Amino acid sequence: MSDTASVEQRLDAYRAMFSLNGKTALVLGAASGIGKASAEALAALGATIICADKNRDGVEATAAKLNARAHVVDAGSAADVNALAASIAAKHPRLDIAVTTPAIHVRKLMLDYTDEEYDRVADLNLRGTFYFLRAFGRIMSEQRGGSLIASSSVRATTLEPGLAIYGATKAGIIQMVRGLASEVGPFGVRVNAIVPSIVETALVTPLKARPEIFNALAAHTVFNRWSQPEEVGAAVAFLASDAASYVTGTAMLVDGGWTAIDGKPTGLTKTHADA
């Protein structure tokens, strides 16, 4: 924005930064949880959405609500991801935004992990993210622009017993994002990761039956609550927009302060005015 622009012109320019009107966005993992919320957030800001997920019923339901095209895709399959990329390239002149969220974890002590369990977690979380970034990074590099967004976790840096392998894959995603950002930046492509902590989705419903665990996890945040998928979806929408045009190679925390504090807050609430 020029320094000589009027106030209204400058305000209009800021509003335009957050608009996704005229842009096309792919969300892999759109059937539920963070992926579904991300698709909804991107659509709300004006993007044309392409939904993809392994869950046919779920992805078709999301797509129907958003007037979007649905694709059934196994995020851990190179063939599926490459086929999705080829289909999008053939049907759309440009792909401006691509988001991937699928992940799995097996909560189990590392010394008890089987080879099959390791492969299942690493193949979807790490290898699947690689397939996605490679396929859609190529498209965006060729078109000279775009925003790639992957999903990591606070478990990339903070762990507890039973989450070593999951945490390793999530740390690897952050490093892949950083590396790819350095490689495709000259082509106008941005690459970032969201880093949520605890998100209240259908997958954690069984935890609600164990309130001592559910509430203990909430207490790791400064808000003493779980996040909603929409709160993470909003962060995705920011990273997708031109408001984040100078943001790349970033692991964006959406963790409710989980990594800012050392364990459960003490409960002290006295403010400076009360002192």
The pLDDT of 133-145, averaged and rounded, is: 98
pLDDT of residue 4: 66
Q: Determine if residue 152 is left, alpha or beta; phi over 0 gives left, psi from -120 to 50 gives alpha, anything else beta.
A: beta
Q: Which of the residue ranges 14-18, 247-251, 269-273 would you say has the lowest mean pLDDT?
A: 269-273
Q: Is the pLDDT of residue 11 over 60?
A: yes
Q: Determine if residue 252 is left, alpha or beta; phi over 0 gives left, psi from -120 to 50 gives alpha, anything else beta.
A: beta
Band of the pLDDT at 270, cuts 50, 70, 90?
A: low
Q: How far is CA 184 from CA 149, 194, 197, in A?
A: 13, 19, 28
Share the mean pLDDT of the chain. 93
Given 14, 118, 131, 166, which residue is catalytic? 166
Higher pLDDT, 89 or 209: 89
**In-domain check, residue 9:** no
CA nearest 247: which of 194, 199, 207? 194
Q: Which of the residue ranges 33-37, 53-57, 205-209 would you say has the lowest mean pLDDT?
A: 205-209
pLDDT of residue 274: 46
**In-domain check, residue 8:** no
We report the CATH number of the domain holding residue 182 as 3.40.50.720
Q: Is the pLDDT of residue 142 over 70?
A: yes
For residue 243, count other CB atoms closer than 10 A to its CB.
16
The reply to whether 246 belongs to the active site is no
Contact status, residue 20 vs residue 8, Cβ threshold 8 Å? no
Rounded CA gap, 79 and 85, in Å? 10
Kindly give, in sequence order, each residue whose CB lies less than 8 Å from that of residue 2, ignoring residues fewer than 6 positions away: none
Band of the pLDDT at 272, cuts 50, 70, 90?
A: very low
Summarised one tens digit per residue, pLDDT across range 60-84 is 999 999 999 999 999 999 999 999 9
**In-domain check, residue 64:** yes
Counting the structural domains of the chain, the total is 1
Q: Is the pLDDT of residue 170 over 80?
A: yes
Token pair belonging to 110: 């590392």
For the whole model, what pTM was predicted? 0.93
Summarised one tens digit per residue, pLDDT across range 177-200 is 999 999 999 999 999 999 999 999
Domain assignment of residue 153, given as a range: 16-274
Q: Is the pLDDT of residue 242 over 50?
A: yes
